[in-house]
Amino acid sequence: MYEKLAEYLLSSTYVIVFTGAGISTASGISDFRGPNGLWKKYSPEIASVEFLQRDPKSFWEFYSTRMRGLFEAEPNTAHKALGELERMGLVQWIITQNIDGLHQKGGSKNVIELHGTMRKSYCSVCFESYDSMDILKRIDSGENPPICSCGGLIRPDVVLFGESVKKIEEALNIASEADMVLSIGSSLTVYPANLVPKTVKDSGGKLIIVNMQETPFDYMADEVIRDPVEIVLPELVKEIKERTKAKS
């Protein structure tokens, strides 16, 4: 079913995967800009550093609800397929915009989280690190907003609107070495994260896009697939295994 995609992957030597919120929707996590996206229900302002500083109580009411949803979610077949492709030596890195930790739960080891992780929180003054599950317990007990022992405000270890993306230089260096990028479930509209697939293409590599909606990079892609990622990736693994078995 995805013979051409399998050929691209097997003929490449340094493959990276770039993922957005669309890979996690099958795990019950809302994306941001899709038809039922998070920003259809909330203003993006609530995820800004300015809102955190202005109204930390409302900020944490929103984020504690998001955290619970992310912590309850399990990796879907797409996450697991990527973990398997890494174990097979066919994928070198996953560079993700997601903060849900599902790639790691799905078995992937080499993961760069450009927008941070919901699994951790930290003090905005002394930078002491906290497990977000412990912070949720404190909020449940009535401590909202949660405060560090130094008196500083505790916040999630995620990139908020108005803040710089994490590890972007490392991600772009990796992208410049890759000869193929598989962009999965991303609208490719968020800068500078969207420079990752563009860098691979600009460096002479192949760009494959798997996304249900159109993206601004479709015109430069070597292949665009509109099927659900939780179907595409397991089928890709199946196709590769069949080819490998046939050769042995």
Point out the annotated binding site.
21, 25, 32-33, 97, 99-100, 115, 123, 126, 148, 150, 186-187, 211, 229
Is the distance from CB of 161 to CB of 49 less than 8 angstroms?
A: yes
Is the distance from CB of 59 to CB of 51 less than 8 angstroms?
A: yes
Burial class (CB in 10 A: 0-12, 13-18, 19+), 109: exposed
Residue type at position 208: I
Among residues 103, 115, 201, 206, the one annotated as catalytic is: 115
Contacts 24+ apart (CB under 8 A), 137-143: 139/60, 139/64
Radius of gyration of the chain from its Cα atoms, rounded to whole angstroms: 19
The contacts of residue 78 (CB under 8 Å, 6+ apart) are: 23, 26, 184, 185, 229, 230, 232, 233, 234
Is the distance from CB of 150 to CB of 125 less than 8 angstroms?
A: yes
Annotation marks residue 115 as catalytic: yes
Which tokens hold the place of 75?
Answer: 């990796």
Annotated binding site for Zn(2+): 123, 126, 148, 150
The catalytic residue positions are 115
